[in-house]
Amino acid sequence: MKWFGRKGLAEPAPGGGRRPALSAGSGMTVLGTWPTGYEAQVRAGYLENAIAQRAVRMVAEGVAAAPIVGGDPQLVRLVTRRSAGQVLTETIAAQLLLHGNAFVQLLDDGRGGVGELYALRPERVSVEADASGWPVAFRYRVGAQVQRLPAEDAAGRPAVVHLRAFHPLDDHYGLGCLGAAAGAIAVHNAAARWNKALLDNAARPSGALVYDPGDGAVLSRDQFERLRAEMEAGFAGAANAGRPMLLEGGLKWQAMSLTPADMDFNGLKAQAAREIALAFGVPPMLLGLPGDNTYANYREANRALWRLAILPLAERILAELAQALGGRFADASLAVDLDRVPALAEDRERLWNQVRDADFLTREEKRAMVGVGPGSGEGL
């Protein structure tokens, strides 16, 4: 599977130079037995891992909840509406975090405008490139059916918007966070399976059942199989934890304790969970992970999440969409209204107090600093 990048424009490069040829670099790094296919990676790293799923959802849902303002109300409604039952910006944010690429198809409304923005499944999209490697069309594959989507419409405007995360080794496709978190997710999933196995065996190693009749005899194969079946039926599992064992002559129970490595498994799992949160840009404190004191309180961690993860991703998505839709709207500007973000209320209040106490600034300068247009009357 190959992921391809942003559509090259037909116009010549600035200065009259020619565009350089593009080439695809190495794909996602494979760690040990980590799945190589994207769908298998999503199942192991998102569907089966609570930390990764929660981290992605916190960022993606935060992007969807960010209040958006723009120069054209119709454009704002187009970006904030639901597409196929999902918020467009939330879907794009999740795809960028997991896959590193997001493809948005601009559907025509029949009157030369845009009726809907539809987010395509990124693992189903491939590129049809020219001789230099620049995309001229995208191919969307579902099973045996392949649909060709031109990169531009008849008027030369973008028909498919490709958003991608930065990849230092490839010109065509972006790099998601799932690959960086692969090692920690593998450790976390392995630790969960280990703990599950301990619970299935009475929450501790069951020990050894020693047959010692004193004359050196051993159990026959039929006796061994019957004894093992009786042990699994009567004493294995969490429901049988602590159940007394009745032994016949010649059988002796020898209990076995956890090793120091086993005792440290919980700490190893917590460390892996923190690394997963770090890969997706979520403060571990917000995920309820123990042993993380990076932020003084929950409110400070939530503000860091918005400043360092949600807002940069939201602004990037809006900037890409605004650039692609620039030829269809007179004013295609899109931005996040920071004044309406609850997590940033304290920062906004601090700015207002600082501007209010700055006596050396004029009234109009103060209004410009806080993002308020010129006005009349008393006060700020």
Q: Do 274 and 228 have their domain in common?
A: no
Q: How far apart are CA 57 and CA 63, in angstroms?
A: 10
Q: Do 19 and 62 have their domain in common?
A: yes
Looking at residue 57, its pLDDT comes to 96
Is residue 94, in this structure, part of any structural domain at all? yes
For residue 354, how many C-alpha atoms fall within 13 Å in the half-sphere facing its CB?
A: 8
Lowest-pLDDT choice from 60-64, 75-79, 246-250, 319-323:
246-250
| Better pLDDT: 217 or 8 | 217
| Better pLDDT: 196 or 87 | 87
pLDDT exceeds 50 at position 62:
yes
Q: How far apart are CA 314 and CA 87, in angstroms?
A: 13
Looking at residue 15, its pLDDT comes to 45
Give every CB contact of residue 352 below 8 A, 6+ residues apart in sequence.
370, 380
Q: How far apart are CA 66 and CA 335, in angstroms?
A: 10
Q: Do 216 and 167 have their domain in common?
A: no
Is residue 71, in this structure, part of any structural domain at all? yes
Q: How confident is the model at residue 7 (pLDDT cuts 50, 70, 90)?
A: very low
**DSSP notation for 143-156:** TTEEEEEESB-TTS
pLDDT exceeds 50 at position 16:
no
Q: Do 245 and 314 have their domain in common?
A: no
**DSSP notation for 167-223:** -TT-SS----HHHHTHHHHHHHHHHHHHHHHHHHTTTS---EEEE--SS-----HHH
Is residue 74, in this structure, part of any structural domain at all? yes
Q: Do 154 and 55 have their domain in common?
A: yes
Lowest-pLDDT choice from 59-63, 160-164, 355-359:
355-359
Is residue 358, in this structure, part of any structural domain at all? no
Q: How confident is the model at residue 20 (pLDDT cuts 50, 70, 90)?
A: low
Q: What are the distances in angstroms from CA 108 to CA 74, 113, 329?
A: 15, 6, 14
Q: What is the pLDDT of residues 162-208, one digit of tens each?
A: 999 998 887 778 899 988 898 899 888 888 887 777 777 655 555 66
Lowest-pLDDT choice from 146-160, 167-181, 220-234, 309-323:
220-234
Q: How far apart are CA 241 and CA 255, in angstroms?
A: 14
Q: Do 173 and 317 have their domain in common?
A: yes
Tokens of 378: 């008393």
pLDDT exceeds 60 at position 262:
no
Q: Which domain does 32 fall in, by range?
A: 14-186+270-324
Looking at residue 27, its pLDDT comes to 44
The H-or-E segment that residue 138 falls in is: strand 135-142
Q: Do 70 and 137 have their domain in common?
A: yes
Looking at residue 168, its pLDDT comes to 87
Q: Do 114 and 229 have their domain in common?
A: no
Is residue 116, in this structure, part of any structural domain at all? yes
Q: What are the distances in angstroms from CA 265 to CA 219, 250, 308, 328?
A: 36, 36, 31, 56
Looking at residue 263, its pLDDT comes to 57
User: Percent of the chain beyond pLDDT 90?
Assistant: 32
Tokens of 63: 């992007």
Lowest-pLDDT choice from 72-81, 114-123, 200-209, 279-288:
200-209
Is residue 2, in this structure, part of any structural domain at all? no
Mean pLDDT of the chain: 79
Split into its structural domains, the chain has a count of: 2
User: Per-residue pLDDT averaged across 351-379, rounded?
Assistant: 76
Is residue 194, in this structure, part of any structural domain at all? no
Looking at residue 298, its pLDDT comes to 84
The H-or-E segment that residue 299 falls in is: helix 298-305
Q: What is the pLDDT of residues 139-166, one digit of tens each?
A: 999 989 999 999 888 888 899 999 999 9
Q: Do 132 and 62 have their domain in common?
A: yes
User: Per-residue pLDDT averaged across 108-115, rounded?
Assistant: 81
DSSP3 helix / strand / coil % (the chain, rounded to 5): 45, 15, 40
Q: Do 281 and 136 have their domain in common?
A: yes
pLDDT exceeds 50 at position 117:
yes
Is residue 355, in this structure, part of any structural domain at all? no
In this structure, are strands 334-336 and 114-120 parallel, antiparallel, or unpaired?
Answer: unpaired
Q: What are the distances in angstroms from CA 260 to CA 203, 208, 263, 267?
A: 16, 19, 5, 12
